Amino acid sequence: MFCKNCGAQIDDRAVICPKCGAATDNFRQASAPQADDAPSAGFAVLCFFFPVVGLILYLVWKDSMPMRARSCGKGALISVIVEAAACVFVIIFAFAAGGFAACVAGSYVALL
Ligand SMILES: [Zn+2]
């Protein structure tokens, strides 16, 4: 982007112009975060149980309330990991049970 004060080309993420020191459009965002933005355990728990809600809230808040958005994202992420782990456990258990059943069946066949 270009500095509104001196017109110099500056980094898009710059908070102030390195040439003249004027504040850029990023300055207000960087210096005045939203007052009600804070990590929220309540939202993290909500998003743990409803990961889709967590994803939506994360996308909605990631710019305006990054701290709260991160809580939501974390809750949703943990939820997905736990569910994936539970899924893997169930599959392993199913295979183990299936293997045991096959073993018992094989023993019966061998006895006959
Ligand atoms: Zn400037």
Range of the domain at 19: 1-32
Number of structural domains, the chain? Answer: 2
pLDDT digits 0-9 by tens, 77-96: 999 999 999 999 999 998 88
Residue indicated by tokens 């023993």: 107
Distance in Å, CA 62 to ligand 1 centroid: 29
C-alpha 110/C-alpha 52 separation (Å) is 51
Q: Quote the pLDDT of residue 29.
A: 65
Distance in Å, CA 25 to ligand 1 centroid: 12
Distance in Å, CA 10 to ligand 1 centroid: 8
Same domain, 10 and 46: no
pLDDT digits 0-9 by tens, 14-70: 988 999 999 888 876 665 556 678 888 998 999 899 999 999 999 999 998 999 999
Same domain, 56 and 93: yes
Q: Residue 7, Cα to own-chain centre: how many angstroms?
A: 38
Confidence of residue 110 (pLDDT cuts 50, 70, 90): confident
- DSSP β-bridge partners for residue 23: 16
Q: Quote the pLDDT of residue 34.
A: 60
Same domain, 39 and 92: yes
Least confident piece of the model among 4-18, 28-42, 61-75, 98-112: 28-42
